[in-house]
A and B are shown apart, each in its own frame.
Chain A
Amino acid sequence: MRLSYRIAYVFLRNLYSYKRFIVPTFLVSLVEPLFYLITFGVGMGAYMGAFGGKPYLHFLVPGVLVSAVMMSASFECLYGTFIKIVHEKVYDSLVATPVSADEAVAGDIVWASFRGLVSGSLMMAVALAMGVAPASPFRLLLLLAFMVFMGILFGSMAMIVTSVAPSFDFFSYYTELVITPMLFFSGVFFPLERFPGWMKTLAEFLPLTHAVRISRAVFTGEPAAGLGWSLAGLAVLAAVVFTVSIRMMRKRLIK
Chain B
Amino acid sequence: MAPLVTASGLTKKYGDLVAVAGIDFEIREGECFGFLGPNGAGKTTTVRMIHCVSPVTSGTLTVGGLPAGIGNRALKKMTGVIPQEINLDNDLTVQENLVIFARFFDIGRKEARARIEELLRFVELEAKAASKISELSTGMKRRLLIARALINRPRLIVADEPTTGLDPQARHLIWQRLRQLKTQGATLILTTQYMEEAQQLCDRIVVMYQGKILKEGVPGRLVEEEIGREVVEVRIPQEDDEKLLGQLSSFACAHERVGDTLYFYCRDGHPLMRKLVELDLPNYLNRPATLEDVFLKLTGRSLHE
Contact = CB atoms under 8 A, between A and B. Distances in A.
A21 B251 CA distance: 73
A92 B83 contact: yes
A17 B54 contact: no
A13 B93 CA distance: 12
A51 to B, nearest CB: 44
Interface stretch (B26-34, B101-109, B216-224): B101-109
A88 B91 contact: yes
A2 interface: yes
Nearest to A103: B104
Given A98-B105, A100-B71, A254-B70, A92 B91 contact: no
A139 to B, nearest CB: 37
Nearest to A95: B53
B100 interface: yes
Given A89-B85, A98-B73, A254-B53, A12 B91 contact: no
Contact of B104 (A6, A92, A254, A255): A6
Contacts of A89: 85, 87
Given A6-B104, A9-B100, A12-B100, 17 more contacts: A9-B103, A9-B104, A13-B92, A13-B100, A13-B103, A16-B99, A17-B91, A88-B91, A89-B87, A90-B87, A92-B87, A93-B87, A96-B83, A97-B105, A99-B104, A254-B54, A255-B54
A187 to B, nearest CB: 38
Contacts of B88: 93
Given A9-B100, A98-B73, A255-B14, A93 B91 contact: no
A194 interface: no
B55 A254 contact: yes
B273 to A, nearest CB: 51
Interface string B34-71: 00000000000000000111110000000000000011
Interface in B79-95: 79, 81, 83, 85, 87-92
Nearest to A13: B100
Nearest to B12: A255
Contacts of B148: 93
B91 to A, nearest CB: 3
Interface string B127-142: 0000000000000000
A16 B55 contact: no
A73 to B, nearest CB: 19
Nearest to A101: B70
A94 interface: yes
Contacts of B79: 96
B53 A17 contact: no
15 contacts: A9-B104, A16-B91, A16-B100, A20-B91, A88-B90, A88-B91, A93-B88, A96-B51, A96-B79, A96-B81, A96-B83, A98-B73, A98-B106, A100-B70, A254-B55
A99 B53 CA distance: 11
- Pick the most buried of B73, B79, B85, B91: most chain A CB atoms within 10 A of its CB: B91
A12 B106 CA distance: 13
Contacts of B96: 16
Nearest to A99: B104
A170 B52 CA distance: 31
Contacts of A98: 73, 76-77, 104-106
A97 B151 CA distance: 11
Contacts of B89: 13, 17, 88, 90, 93
A9 B89 CA distance: 14
Contacts of B53: 95-96, 254
A116 to B, nearest CB: 20
Nearest to B99: A16
Interface string A69-108: 0000000000000000000111011111111110000000
Contacts of B85: 89, 92
Contacts of A2: 71
A94 B91 contact: no
Contacts of B76: 96-98
A90 B100 CA distance: 12
